[in-house]
Amino acid sequence: MNREPSPMVEYDTAGENIGVLRLHNGRDNLVDHAVFLDLTELKQWLQQYSFQGLIITGNGRNFSKGANVERIKGYKDCPEILEEELNEGKKILSYIEELPLITVAAIEGACFGAGLEIALSCNYRLASESALFSFPEVTLGLLPGFGGTIRLPKLIGQRAAKKLILSGDMISAQEALRLGLVDETTGKKEAFLKAVELVEGLARRCSARQMECFDHMMDQPGSDYWPVYEKESRYFGELIKAMDI
């Protein structure tokens, strides 16, 4: 079987200087390979355009129905290769997660497994009212392996995450909203538009440097806050110097 990465992302733009990563792979946007995009290419693209926000969405009816199970089966005899590829893929998700930009997943239709794990790397998830969510890995004897077991509990708490992951149940957008998995539900086919509005609304009020400083603050570990307070003061001083008034 071909184990070469198969990028499944189209680069696009929208609204006022917003980058768009559009997942595309057939009707279901299956994630064939953990290295679902070329990280170097993504970095170059982001550097070139200095976007104020990034939206990840799916081409067509679904965000993504998750990993291509048939391909995963092909790694049965060489799981160490899959492990390496997953680690490479996770570097992409961590890079997206740490971007000093407003990142939003705009979700229509199915958002399952690896697709949901990609969505979890964003700051916000906006979902159409008819979107469906699931971590179906348990039904295959697996667990989420693309950061989902770490990011989901961080987002919705251990109890709810455990239930979603261990049951493999599919939940509606309304239930996802109740759990805090999504930030807002929208009308059908409106998730992308609302994502653009969200990015523009937030980005309008702050400069790129403010965003960068804020992101550096967010990166700090929960312990030993004093250096962080100092850093906050330093950034505050720096930003005062750059104020318009």
Instruction: Please identify, using beta-carbon distances, which residue of 167 and 207 lies nearer to another protein.
Output: 167
In the set 108, 137, 184, 200, the catalytic residue is: 137
CA 111 from chain centre, in angstroms, equals 11
CB 123 within 8 A of CB 106: no
CB closer to another protein out of 18 and 110: 110
Q: Which is nearer to another protein, 79 or 187 (CB)?
A: 187
CB of 110 to another protein, least distance (A): 5
Least spacing, CB of residue 125 vs another protein, in Å: 18
Core vs surface per residue 133-147: b (16+ CB within 10 A) or e: bbbbbbeeeeebbbb
Of these residues, 16, 117, 175, 190, which one is catalytic?
117
Residues in Cβ contact with 186 at an 8 Å cutoff, skipping those fewer than 6 apart: 126, 127, 128, 129, 193, 194
**Is 117 labeled as catalytic in the residue annotation?**
yes
Q: Give me the phi and psi of 170, to 5 degrees please.
A: -95, 135
Quote the least distance from Cβ 150 to another protein, whole Å.
Answer: 26
Nearer to another protein, 29 or 121 (CB): 29
Residues with Cβ within 8 Å of residue 145, at least 6 apart in sequence: 86, 137
For residue 208, what are the contacts with CB-CB under 8 A and spacing of at least 6? 50, 52, 100
CB of 66 to another protein, least distance (A): 12
Q: How far out from the chain centre does Cα 227 lie?
A: 29
Residues that bind another protein (CB under 8 A): 27-28, 61-62, 109-110, 130, 132, 169-172, 188
Active site residues: 117, 137
